[in-house]
Amino acid sequence: MSLSEKIREVPKPILMAAIAPLIALTCIAIAILISPDFSWTGNALSDLGHYIQTDIGPNPVVRAIIFNAGLAITGTAMVYYIIWLLRQLTDLPTKIAIIPYFIASVFLTAIGVFSENFSPTHYIVSVGFFFSFPWAMWFIGFSWIQFRELWWFVLISLALPFISIYLWWGTFAGVMPWTGVALPEMLTSLTAIMWIWGFVYLHHTGKLANIIK
């Protein structure tokens, strides 16, 4: 069976969940490439989504559309996947634990919709995303302790959020070598992406058979 045939056999929501983070990363990368004055140590990633800010490079509207669209598409794809997954879940603790994951995905979509131009809404949804995703990991981790075959993912789910907590604490405490929040935002997002891919892997390979009908 060819790779393309294997891909076509993957349920569309699972495929969307796997590809969605790549869309966000690609759009962020493009936005940075066309923003020659963007600083990882002095800016926030959301500066890339500002429609009139020109201090990080020309063509702010083009840059903002690319950046914001990437986040909105990624968040929407994750919301779609989680709703599809919820309909299949048979384990009540997992159904409850998936709620922060859903909320975090909604916040991500909202970050793309409400750019920095929409203050204070943008700040609220941004904080909401970075606050809720660690809880998404913790909730899933604790709810899956009952499944011995998932313990490796449980440990990852319980440990990863502490990377985010340390990065944000260090940033606001002034002990990190940066003043902007772009680096903690990106590094925290990468932990979330690794976790999402692990979750999707378990789903696609049938490792969640005990909780899915």
C-alpha 122/C-alpha 74 separation (Å) is: 17
Q: How far is CA 40 from the centre of its chain?
A: 19
Query: How crowded is residue 148: how many other Cβ atoms within 10 Å of its Cβ?
Result: 8
What does each of the 213 residues of the chain score in pLDDT, given as a tens digit?
A: 666 667 778 889 999 999 999 999 999 999 999 999 999 999 999 999 999 988 999 999 999 999 999 999 999 999 999 999 999 999 999 999 999 999 999 999 999 999 999 989 999 999 999 999 999 999 999 999 999 999 999 999 999 999 999 999 999 999 999 999 999 999 999 999 999 999 999 999 999 988 987
User: Under the phi-then-psi rule, with left for phi > 0, alpha for psi from -120 to 50, and beta for the rest, what region is 127?
Assistant: alpha
Q: Which residues does 196 contact at the CB level (< 8 Å), separation at least 6? A: 17, 20, 21, 78
Domain boundaries, the chain: 3-204
Residue carrying the six token digits 């009139």: 52
Report the residue count for the chain.
213
Q: What pLDDT score was predicted for residue 8?
A: 77
Query: How crowded is residue 198: how many other Cβ atoms within 10 Å of its Cβ?
Result: 15
Q: What pLDDT score was predicted for residue 3?
A: 62
Q: What pLDDT score was predicted for residue 213?
A: 77
